[in-house]
């Protein structure tokens, strides 16, 4: 009988497990894959996440980035030197996620990888979590099994809206790219963008859509993009992976259970940033369940409200910007990306030093005014 069973060992599951164990709670962490496991991802992390943990993430950080290069259909570049206090981290997800889990294990978290959850059942005063060989019991569960997981559905939450993304992992291959720069290309993908994010030993290249456009061949677009930078992709695997962008505030709690990370649709609908909100919701979920065990009957409800306040309020603005930018991206590129002040503010948002709510009102007003002027 555990205090909590966490399903999924990505950033939100690792974070929730760590913060629960830090408070002396017994935690079982279930993961269907064998750790460390590969996860296609751009790997960009806001350095502000270090403030939420009392151990050093440096061993799990591949590179630190202080420049962003934007292009429009591979041309018209705009290079921005970030003026942030701390550069953006670039991580490999197999290393980063496993490192976080290892810190949780040091605090007593019990890990069972290669263990798929087949179903759950609420029985009297506890959850029964069924796997192939065992049935585990816990007072609380956390669904941290991501965009493709089943926990949210089993817990009775509405179907998550998913968008398609594709990622390439190119390791230690020759390229003309600088390793201190993140690359974003707009206009080549409808309703989205292509990225190229360097790691110490290679590149993560991917494409994603945000407000439609799923019928595009994202694999082909990503491959063409890589070849233009001299990256040989003949031996590289491509991974389709759905993402769950934030799509409005919704309940994230139910009977002795919480949703975190992509299970809770925490992905930024403008940039597709997902690691920071996953770590944040994991931390807040761990705190909430600790308080619930201690007797706070409103702790889980307060978790939903806190996530809405800490992340949802900003995502309202991110979604508004995305709806304008991705519908008329050439205009958005001209009015947003090509304005150095706007790009600097976006860089500060990525680094966690600014929030959408601080600047987005003026940005939406400027974009809307420009659109009206075009008609």
> What pLDDT is stored for residue 375 in this prediction?
44
Decide if pLDDT at 264 tops 90: yes
> What pLDDT is stored for residue 157 in this prediction?
93
> What pLDDT is stored for residue 335 in this prediction?
80
CA distances from 143 to 24, 149, 240, 260, 280 (A): 20, 8, 22, 6, 14
- Reported in sequence order, the residue ranges of 44-113 that DSSP labels E, i.e. its strands, are 44-45, 63-65, 67-72, 75-81, 88-90, 110-112
Q: Look up residue 108 and give its two tokens.
A: 């007593």
pLDDT bin (cut points 50, 70, 90) of residue 346 is confident
345 versus 266: which is more confidently predicted?
266
> What pLDDT is stored for residue 363 in this prediction?
66
Percent of the chain at pLDDT > 90 equals 54
pLDDT bin (cut points 50, 70, 90) of residue 38 is confident
Closest CA to 156 of 121, 128, 129: 121
Contact 100, 11 (CB under 8 A): yes
Compute the average pLDDT of residues 298-314. Answer: 96
Closest CA to 268 of 221, 325, 189: 325
Closest CA to 30 of 105, 118, 114, 95: 114
The mean of the pLDDT values for the chain is 88
pLDDT digits (tens, 9 = 90+) for 316-326: 999 988 888 88
pLDDT digits (tens, 9 = 90+) for 148-172: 899 999 999 988 777 666 555 555 4
Same fold, 2-60+92-161+245-316 and 163-243: no
pLDDT digits (tens, 9 = 90+) for 196-251: 888 887 788 888 887 765 667 777 777 788 877 777 666 666 777 778 889 889 99
Decide if pLDDT at 89 tops 90: yes
pLDDT bin (cut points 50, 70, 90) of residue 252 is very high
pLDDT bin (cut points 50, 70, 90) of residue 135 is very high
Decide if pLDDT at 364 tops 90: no
Percent of the chain at pLDDT > 70 equals 89
Cα distance from N-terminal residue to C-terminal residue, the chain: 64
Spelled out in words, what is the top-level CATH class assigned to the domain 2-60+92-161+245-316?
alpha beta
CA distance 317 to 357: 7
Q: What are the residue ranges spanned by the domains of the chain?
A: 2-60+92-161+245-316, 163-243, 320-374
H/E element, 323: helix 313-325
Helix 275-293 and helix 11-22: axis angle, to 10°? 30
Angle 334-319-304 from CA coordinates, rounded to 5°: 155
Q: Which CATH number fits domain 163-243: 3.30.9.10, 3.30.420.40, 3.40.190.10, 3.40.50.300?
A: 3.30.9.10
Decide if pLDDT at 125 tops 50: yes
């Amino acid at each position: 009988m555990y205090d909590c069973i966490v399903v999924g060992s990505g950033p939100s599951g690792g974070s929730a497990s760590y913060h629960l164990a830090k408070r002396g709670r017994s935690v079982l962490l279930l993961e269907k894959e064998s750790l460390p496991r590969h996860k296609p991802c751009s790997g960009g992390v806001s350095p502000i996440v270090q403030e939420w943990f009392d151990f050093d993430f440096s061993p799990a950080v591949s590179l630190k980035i202080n420049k962003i290069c934007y292009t429009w259909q591979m041309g018209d570049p705009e290079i921005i030197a970030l003026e942030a206090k701390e550069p953006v981290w670039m991580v490999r997800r197999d290393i980063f996620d496993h490192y976080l889990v290892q810190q949780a294990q040091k605090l007593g978290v019990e890990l069972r990888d290669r263990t798929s959850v087949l179903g759950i059942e609420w029985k009297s005063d506890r959850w029964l979590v069924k796997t192939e060989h065992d049935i585990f019991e816990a007072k609380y569960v956390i669904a941290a099994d991501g965009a493709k997981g089943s926990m949210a559905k089993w817990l009775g939450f509405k179907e998550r809206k998913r968008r398609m993304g594709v990622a390439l992992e190119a390791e230690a291959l020759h390229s003309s790219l600088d390793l201190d720069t993140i690359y974003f290309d707009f206009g080549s993908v409808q309703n989205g963008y292509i990225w190229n994010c360097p790691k110490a030993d290679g590149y993560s290249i991917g494409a994603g859509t945000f407000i439609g456009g799923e019928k595009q061949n994202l694999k082909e677009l990503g491959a063409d993009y890589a070849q233009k930078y001299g990256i040989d992709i003949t031996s590289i695997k491509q991974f389709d992976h759905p993402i769950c962008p934030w799509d409005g505030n919704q309940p994230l709690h139910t009977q002795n259970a919480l949703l975190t990370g992509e299970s809770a649709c925490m992905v930024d609908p403008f940039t597709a940033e997902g690691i920071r909100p996953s770590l944040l919701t994991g931390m807040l979920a761990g705190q909430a369940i600790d308080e619930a065990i201690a007797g706070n009957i409103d702790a889980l409800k307060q978790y939903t409200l806190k996530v809405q306040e800490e992340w949802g309020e900003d995502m309202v603005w991110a979604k508004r910007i995305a709806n304008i930018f991705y519908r008329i991206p050439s205009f958005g590129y001209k009015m947003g990306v090509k304005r150095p002040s706007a790009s600097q503010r976006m860089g500060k948002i990525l680094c966690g030093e600014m929030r959408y709510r601080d600047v987005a009102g003026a940005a939406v007003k400027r974009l809307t005014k420009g659109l009206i002027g075009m008609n």
